[in-house]
Structure 1
């Protein structure tokens, strides 16, 4: 499946992405400082290239038709540069990760722009907007996103596209010696639609 929106393309995972993923876990790693940095050190130290490749190849064999719901997409620029990905998962009504069978019901979206040379250029906003529109096309309008209080770029982008803070867990993590809150935002559909008219 391919979704084209302004200067970005959302698409399914392909074999060529494996090389980029490995580089994002071994060389181009600055994005880990923003996306769950409390997990980054462990993930980077324990990264096993062979196991990752094996898992990725299994993922590629799981072909989906265009009508099947996508929990995530890779992000390309319109020039075909692979820069990151978007994903979604379920939380329960207390904002804890849960599968559907465990009571997960809140669609929660995430994004990583892993290529640091493409930060602060609007690609993340465009990709997140396109991903929200994709959820709308599937009848999902009750949409959330999560981050931590030190992730200023993510907070700014979420607010720009129409998310409003709906839950805060104080002193959730100690990161680089400082205490940060866990934040959950809910999409305000009216504000999102206003953005679409201007953006």
Structure 2
């Protein structure tokens, strides 16, 4: 299923997207985007062949989508189950190129993704986890109406400094009250 907001589209990953995704995510040892996306977890460059052997399932996955803007892949959205039997879902977004940051792209993409998740899955809540060093991600979540549900203090160590882990979430009825549901 594909969702569009003017020149921005969230769509399933296709096989011909894999070279571009490898280039954005795994070609470099220290990509700029990794400074904001959980930089306290290690990231390693991978050969294209290794990437294909490990990530080829993205093509058939319901849990991963590309963010395309003006016909170019800018990043990805995804989700994972924190606890599937109780429908506890966490989502994520990464814009892999700095020229996409600070322009509302993440807010637009996450809005489409949340709408998709609420329309396609029997969820009562969607959430995301970030860290206190990623102020842009926290601001995007707030703009979309998410609330801070937890702040776990000083559990993320990066560049000689401790940061908080931040959990944000939104209930289905809050989403619907904000009239974001455009199914």
Smaller-chain TM-score bracket: 0.7 to 0.9
RMSD after superposition:
2.3
Pair 1:173–1:134, CA change in 2 (3 A): same
Pair 1:59–1:119, CA change in 2 (3 A): closer
What pairs with 1:1-199 in structure 2 (closer than 5 Å)? Answer: 1-24=1-24, 25-27=26-28, 29-39=31-41, 42-44=42-44, 47-60=46-59, 62=60, 70-77=62-69, 79-92=70-83, 100=84, 105-138=87-120, 139-187=122-170, 189-190=173-174, 193-194=177-178, 196=180
2:13 match: secondary structure? coil
Using the TM superposition, give the Cα deviation of residue 59 of structure 1 relative to its aligned residue in structure 2, in angstroms.
4.3
Q: Is the 8 A contact 2:131 2:163 kept in 1?
A: yes
TM-score normalised per structure 2: 0.85
Query: Paired residues, what number?
Result: 177
1:43 match: secondary structure? coil
Q: Is the 8 A contact 1:6 1:126 kept in 2?
A: no
Using the TM superposition, give the Cα deviation of residue 158 of structure 1 relative to its aligned residue in structure 2, in angstroms.
0.5
2:20 match: secondary structure? helix
Could you say which residue in structure 2 is the equivalent of 1:67? none
Moved more, 126-135 or 14-23: 14-23
Unaligned ranges ≥5, structure 1: 65-69, 93-99
Unaligned ranges ≥5, structure 2: none
